[in-house]
Chain A
Amino acid sequence: MIRIESEPWAAMVAHAREAYPNECCGAMLGVIGGDKTGGDKTDGDKAVRVSMRLENSYAGAQAARYELRPEDLLAADKAARERQMDLIGIYHSHPDCDAYFSKTDLQNSCPWYSFVVLSIQKGEFHHANSWLPNFDQTEAAKEELIY
Chain B
Amino acid sequence: MAKILIPTPLRQFTGKQDSVVAGGATVGEVLSALTTQYPDLRKQIFNDEGKLRSFVNVYLNDEDIRYLGKDATAVSDGDTLSLVPSIAGGSAVAPPENAAPESAPPEEITLSNDEILRYSRHLIIPEVGIEGQKKLKAAKVLLVGAGGLGAPLGLYLAAAGVGKIGLVDFDVVDFTNLQRQVIHSTKDVGRNKIDSAAEKMLAINPNVRIVKHEVALTSENALDIIKDYDYVVDGTDNFPTRYLVNDACVLLNKPNIYGSIFRFEGQSTVFAYEGGPCYRCLYPEPPPPGLVPSCAEGGVLGILPGTIGLIQATETVKLILGIGESLVGRLLLYDALTMRFRELKLRKNPECPMCGEHRTITKLIDYHQFCGVPAQEPKVTEGEIEVTEVKAKLDRGDNFVLIDVREPHEYKIASIPGAKLVPLGEVPKRLDEFDKNADIVIHCKSGMRSAKACGILKQAGFQHVRNMKGGILAWSDQVDPGVPKY
Question: Is the beta-carbon distance between B62 and A64 smaller than 8 angstroms?
Answer: no
Query: Which of B43, B62, B92, B104 has the most chain A CB atoms closer than 10 A to its own CB?
Result: B92
Contacts of B18 in A (CB 8 A): 81
Within 8 A of A (CB), among B58-82: 59, 62, 64, 82
C-beta contact mask, B9-25 vs A, less than 8 Å → 1, else 0? Answer: 11010000010000000
Docked Cα-Cα span, A107 to B213, in Å, equals 37
* Whole-angstrom distance between the Cβ of A50 and the nearest chain B Cβ: 14
Contact residue range for chain A?
35 or more
Taking each of B57, B93, B275, B322, which has the highest tally of chain A beta carbons within 10 Å of its own beta carbon? B93
Q: Is the CB of A103 within 8 A of B91?
A: no
B289 is an interface residue with CB less than 8 A from chain A = no
Contact of A77 among B84, B86, B253 (CB under 8 A): B84
Indicate if the CB atoms of B89 and A65 lie closer than 8 Å. Answer: yes
Asked whether, in the complex, the Cβ of A65 is within 8 Å of the Cβ of B62, the reply is no
List chain A residues, Cβ under 8 A from B82. 74, 77
Residues of A within 8 A of B89 (CB): 65-66, 92, 102, 104-106, 108-109, 115
Interface status of A34 (Cβ within 8 A of chain B): no
From B54, B56, B82, B86, name the one whose CB has the most chain A CB atoms within 10 angstroms: B86
Find chain A residues with CB under 8 A from B57 CB. 70
CA A92 to CA B94, docked complex, whole Å? 15
Please report the number of residue pairs spanning A and B whose Cβ atoms sit closer than 8 angstroms.
122
B102: A residues at CB distance < 8 A: 100, 102-103
Min distance, Cβ B2 to any Cβ of chain A, angstroms: 16
A66 touches B8 (CB 8 A): no
The count of residues in chain B whose C-beta lies closer than 8 Å to any C-beta of chain A is 39
Query: When chains A and B are docked, how far (Å) is the Cα of A66 from the Cα of B10?
Result: 25
Report if A112-B93 is in contact (Cβ < 8 Å); known contacts: A67-B88, A73-B87, A103-B322.
Answer: no
Q: Is residue B274 contacting chain A, with contact meaning CB distance below 8 A?
A: yes
Does B484 interact with chain A (Cβ within 8 Å)?
no
- Assess whether A87 is interfacial by the CB under 8 Å rule: yes
Residues of B within 8 A of A23 (CB): 90-91
Question: Please, which residue of chain A has its CB at the minimum distance from the CB of B106?
Answer: A100
Q: Does B95 contact A (CB under 8 A)?
A: yes
List 30 contacting pairs A-B, 8 Å CB cutoff, sorted by A.
A23-B90, A42-B9, A58-B88, A60-B274, A61-B274, A63-B253, A64-B274, A65-B89, A65-B93, A67-B88, A68-B86, A68-B88, A73-B84, A73-B85, A77-B82, A77-B84, A81-B5, A97-B91, A98-B105, A102-B89, A104-B89, A104-B93, A104-B99, A105-B89, A109-B89, A110-B55, A110-B56, A112-B10, A115-B89, A137-B55
- Contacts beyond the supplied A23-B90, A135-B43: 15 A-B pairs with Cβ under 8 Å: A41-B12, A64-B91, A64-B274, A70-B59, A70-B84, A70-B86, A77-B84, A92-B89, A103-B94, A105-B89, A106-B89, A107-B94, A108-B95, A110-B87, A111-B9
- Which 7 pairs from chain A and chain B are nearest by CB? A105-B89, A110-B85, A94-B91, A65-B90, A86-B8, A100-B105, A108-B88
